[in-house]
């Protein structure tokens, strides 16, 4: 199987990238670096949701939220409902005025604002057992994924842009103590009816539903795993079938052992990279289709790949927690410790 995958991977990759290049052309060989943007906060910023090159939502420790409408020149900010001890590790901007934020840890809560952050309304509160890892939206459908509770992954769903939430009765089974990493919700993906999330720790598996969470399959992955600090942290969709994932061991940030992998069939099977890996543990990855780049970040720096993830090159020593392509696909943003937010330069 290994030899077969090594033959299929380059062929499929060449076909995908060749088709894209017929529609989009870019002469840029690599990113220049990051344009660091001053923010009014000093919190750890893990929640990140860029909508355009101008409109970006973010959230983090100390209950904070941030929003810019002018590409980072100015920021609105505050504390969600006075919860200054809560870490909001994920936020999803729905438009310039509307966003949904989810906490990691206790209390396990989901909040929504419809007035640009001036007021926040609690839309859901989980039990004392809940630990939410992140959320994702596709149109009016929202999904929050949390660690296993009573033998089932905790999945909370909304069908009305986050106004109301219900616990899914069709969540996949999981071992007690299993969970995902709260990495800005980038361990969760949705594409039309397809829904994926990836676990870490003792077992790093990919959970896939083709019908918005009603039926699930679970597939093992070859990324490093077995310890509480190990596994896959972030996944990105390259096209309708190809997924790329990064991770590693957050206690060994410079290790490149089994820290990235690819699937060519919607996550049913995975292969480790056979080329040059990212240069350490990585907590975020995103695909920039215009330049055909994958961008990945971690605490010791940032890397990019221009051949679909086969080989990686370090382009910055700036460390971040999360990285996302904006929804208009025009810019890439990253967030990190001490209020750090940046935009990719190229």
Which domains are delineated in the chain?
2-345 (2.130.10.10)
The CA angle 145-181-132, to the nearest 5 degrees, is 35
What are the CA-CA distances from residue 344 to residues 237, 330, 332 (Å)? 19, 10, 5
Q: In residues, how long is the chain?
A: 346
The CA angle 84-90-96, to the nearest 5 degrees, is 95
* CA distance linking residue 189 with residue 169, whole number of Å: 20
Q: Along the 346 residues of the chain, how does pLDDT read in single tens digits?
A: 333 334 334 434 434 444 444 444 456 889 999 999 999 999 999 999 999 999 999 999 999 999 999 999 999 999 999 999 999 999 999 999 999 999 999 999 999 999 999 999 999 999 999 999 999 999 999 999 999 999 999 999 999 999 999 999 999 999 988 999 998 999 999 999 999 999 999 999 999 999 999 999 999 999 999 999 999 999 999 998 999 999 999 999 999 999 999 999 999 999 999 899 999 999 999 999 999 999 999 999 999 999 999 999 999 999 999 999 999 999 999 999 999 999 999 9
Does residue 122 contact residue 142 with C-beta atoms inside 8 Å?
Answer: no
**DSSP H or E segment with residue 13:** helix 2-23
Report cis status (omega within 30 of 0) of the bond before 107: yes
Q: Name the residue with tokens 């935009």.
A: 343
The SS3 assignment for 217 reads strand
């Amino acid at each position: 199987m290994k030899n077969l995958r090594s033959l299929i991977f380059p062929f499929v990759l060449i076909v995908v990238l060749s088709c894209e290049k017929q529609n989009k052309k870019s002469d840029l060989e690599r990113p220049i670096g990051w344009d660091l943007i001053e923010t009014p906060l000093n919190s750890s910023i893990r929640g990140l949701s860029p909508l355009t090159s101008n409109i970006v939502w973010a959230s983090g420790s100390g209950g904070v939220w941030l929003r810019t409408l002018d590409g980072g020149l100015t920021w609105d900010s505050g504390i969600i409902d006075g919860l200054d001890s809560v870490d909001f590790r994920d936020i999803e901007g729905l438009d310039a005025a509307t966003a949904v934020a989810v906490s990691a840890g206790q209390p396990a809560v989901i909040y929504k604002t419809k007035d640009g952050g001036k007021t926040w309304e609690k839309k859901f509160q989980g039990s004392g057992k809940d630990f939410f890892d992140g959320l994702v939206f596709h149109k009016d459908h929202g999904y929050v994924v949390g660690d296993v509770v009573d033998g089932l992954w905790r999945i909370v769903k909304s069908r009305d842009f986050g106004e109301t939430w219900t616990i899914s009765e069709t969540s996949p089974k999981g071992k007690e103590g299993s969970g995902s990493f709260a990495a800005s919700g980038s361990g969760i993906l949705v594409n039309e009816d397809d829904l994926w999330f990836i676990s870490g720790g003792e077992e790093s598996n990919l959970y896939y539903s083709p019908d918005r969470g009603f039926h699930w399959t679970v597939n093992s992955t070859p990324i490093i795993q077995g310890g509480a600090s190990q596994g896959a942290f972030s996944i990105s969709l390259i096209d309708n079938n190809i997924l790329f994932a990064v991770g590693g061991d957050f206690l060994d940030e410079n290790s490149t052992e089994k820290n990235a992998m690819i699937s060519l069939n919607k996550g049913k099977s995975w292969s480790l990279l056979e080329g040059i890996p990212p240069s350490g543990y990585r907590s975020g990855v995103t695909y920039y289709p215009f330049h055909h780049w994958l961008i990945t970040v971690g605490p010791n720096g940032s890397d990019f790949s221009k051949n679909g993830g086969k080989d990686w090159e370090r382009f910055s020593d700036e460390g971040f927690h999360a990285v996302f392509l904006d929804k208009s696909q025009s810019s890439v943003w990253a967030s990190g410790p001490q209020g750090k937010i940046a935009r990719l330069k190229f």
